[in-house]
Amino acid sequence: VQLVESGGGVVQPGGSLRLSCEGSGLTFSSYGMHWVRQAPGKGLEWVAFIRYDGSDKYYADSVKGRFTISRDNSKNTLYLQMHSLRAEDTAEYYCAKTYGSGSRIDFWGQGTLVTVSS
């Protein structure tokens, strides 16, 4: 199983960015997926979840209305569209898969760094 994030980079405050997470070695469409972030030197913060078929989505209050989680099961890919980015969104962003169709995380990607700075 591999989860590979991409799309991170440096963006100005107020800008947008789209992260991707491509899965391989698994039946991607069978698993719920999370985004979790970690600001430099800080702890883990859950960001968003999408059910295996995209039917349910949940967000942290800190990103609600600014971030959108989505997936394309035909491409084995998870996305996080981020708008109105703030300095406090600077973090390593990890995608993580669930065990089965539930919400329990059992495997993590390696992360992609997003830096919001002018």
Partner 1 sequence: IQMTQSPSSLSASVGDRVTITCRASQGISNFLAWFQQKPGKAPKSLIYSASTLQSGVPSKFSGSGSGTDFTLTISSLQPEDFATYYCQQYYTYPITFGQGTRLEIK
Q: Give me the residues that bind partner 1 (CB under 8 A), please.
A: 34, 36, 43-46, 49, 58-61, 94, 99, 103-111
Q: Which is nearer to partner 1, 12 or 43 (CB)?
A: 43
Let me know the angle formed at the C-alpha of 104 by 50 and 76, rounded to the nearest 5 degrees: 45
Both ends of the chain: CA-CA distance in Å? Answer: 37
Phi, psi of 92 (to 5 degrees): -85, 130
**Bridge partners of 37?**
45, 93
Least distance to partner 1, CB of residue 67, Å: 13
Q: Which is nearer to partner 1, 30 or 103 (CB)?
A: 103
Least distance to partner 1, CB of residue 43, Å: 5
Least distance to partner 1, CB of residue 104, Å: 5
Least distance to partner 1, CB of residue 12, Å: 26
Q: Which is nearer to partner 1, 17 or 50 (CB)?
A: 50
Burial class of residue 17 in the structure, from the number of CB atoms within 10 Å of its CB (0-12 exposed, 13-18 middle, 19+ buried): buried
